[in-house]
Structure formats: structure tokens, C-alpha cells
Amino acid sequence: MAGNVELLNSVLAQARTENRAALVGYLPAGFPTVDGGIRAMTEMLDGGCDIVEVGLPHSDPVLDGPVIQTADDIALRGGIKIVDVIRTVREVHAATGAPVLCMTYWNPVDAYGVERFAADLAEAGGAGCILPDLPVEESEVWRKAAAQHGLATVFVVAPSSRDARLAKITAAGTGFVYAASLMGVTGTRESVGREAQDLVDRTRATTTLPVCVGLGVSNAEQAAEVAQFADGVIVGSAFVKRLLTADGDIDAGLTGVRALAGELAEGVRKRT
């Protein structure tokens, strides 16, 4: 079975035709539980997200700040396995029909088996993979498997990336480009900053792929700010916080993530 890269492309293109940015939500699988995570991601999509990223919890998530690290730790202590991540992708996509990607560091994929991981992700209806720590120079084996199975390969670019480096990265990627809005780790911030717009402009000069901005967006106002210049707005830590602050009350947490998705969805539609 082929993966859903074309669905991902279609959803991003549709957002563009509507003169808005796409809203991309993120949660780690297995948080607060496997079933709870599936329900939360479904609520995010039903509430207004266009796309969801399912995180594969990692013991040393170098891109992720303390909020997502806390969620990863809860998932890992709960015994999360790659099979649970694949199940999460399958059930969220089946419930919503939306594009669902996996965001993972490279070691778990390599240990699981590159071909096996790509095949299983595609069979579950996955649309692709975001691989923040996989150097483009070492990505050929993955990119070949992903292309064979109909999966996007999304690379991360940062403000420190020089123009020649951006061109090399974007030439290898598919689906969209993940633009890290600032140097540092994931987390909510008071302001997204001008670095993000500069990075998007420089990235767009190298590719026709959509450019989606993550790291730091936590509310409708910031989503609206980023939507002025980006093709997509990626939000993770703010969704995790809604579940953490529910303090074990899953229904309250689900209500919180759905409400946040609705607020952010309004934000990405406020283009001037």
C-alpha cells in the first residue's frame, strides 16, 4: 500500500487556494496514553488542524524543549513502542481522513529497519516523515524507501542555514520544508520573531515546496503573525500543555486541545 504524500500535497495546496496557511498540530504518541493520544490528535483535526505530526518519543530529543520532553518521558515510561506509533498514525488517519506524518529522530528508524519502517508507515496511511537530525548527505537510503512507499521526506532548516545549504536541503525534500523559526528548542514564546520570516524568504528562493514554520507558536495571535508569510504554522508544545495542565482529566484535556485547534485555525485564516 502506498503512503499518502499526495494527500499531504493536496491539503497544503487547498490551503493556499483559500489564501491561508495550513495548521499543523503535533503530539507525541503514547501521551498521555496510546489511546488518549489517538483521541487527542483526532480532536485536534476535528477542531481545525489540517495536518497532524505524530511524534515518536525519544529519550534524548535534541530539538524538543522541556514541555515535549515531559510528554516524551510520560510516553516512554508508559512503554510506548514503534508499533504503538504506527497504530496511532493508522487510527488517527482512519478517523479523520487527514494527512498524518511521523516526526522522529533517526536512531529508532535505523534500529527498526529503514525499509520496514517506511513500509509500515505507508501501510498505516502515513503521509511522510519529518527527520530533524538526519543529515541530507546521509539520507539517500531513507529517501529511496520513502519514495518507493509514497511518503514525504520533510527536512528541517534553521536560521543558521546558509543559502547554499538551504538549496541542498530543499532539493532533497518532499512534502514541505519545516522551518525552525529560531535557534533553540521547541516551546512557547512571547514572540516568534523576524528571523522566521527571513528564513522563509530565503528558503522559498530555493524551492517551490511549501514552507511551514514551527518552534514558538502557541496562540491565535502568533499563528496569524506567522500565517502572513508562511505556508503552514506548526504547533506542538501548546497542545502538550493543554493535556499536561488537565492533570490526568482526559476529557478536560481533549476539550482543551480541540478548543486550541479552533483558536489557531482562526488565526491562520487572518491574512491581510
Laid out side by side, the sheet with 51-55 consists of 152-154, 128-130, 100-103, 51-55, 22-28, 232-235, 211-214, 177-180, 156-157
Residue 64 annotated in active site:
yes
Within a 10 A sphere around the Cβ of 147, how many other Cβ atoms?
15
Helical axes 114-123 vs 82-96, angle rounded to 10°: 30
Which of 53, 84, 225, 231 is the catalytic position? 53
Taking the C-alpha atoms of residue 174 and residue 145, their distance in angstroms, rounded to an integer, is 13
Within a 10 A sphere around the Cβ of 242, how many other Cβ atoms?
22
User: Which residues touch 232 (CB under 8 Å, ≥6 apart)?
Assistant: 12, 15, 21, 22, 23, 24, 50, 51, 176, 210, 211, 212, 213
Question: Looking at the DSSP assignment, which residues form a beta bridge with residue 153?
Answer: 129
Report helix, strand or coil for 213: strand
Cell numbers that stand for 75 in this block? 510516553
Q: Are strands 177-180 and 211-214 parallel, antiparallel or unpaired?
A: parallel
Which of 50, 64, 91, 225 is the catalytic position? 64
Taking the C-alpha atoms of residue 33 and residue 40, their distance in angstroms, rounded to an integer, is 10
Residue 263 annotated in active site:
no
Q: Which residues are catalytic?
A: 53, 64
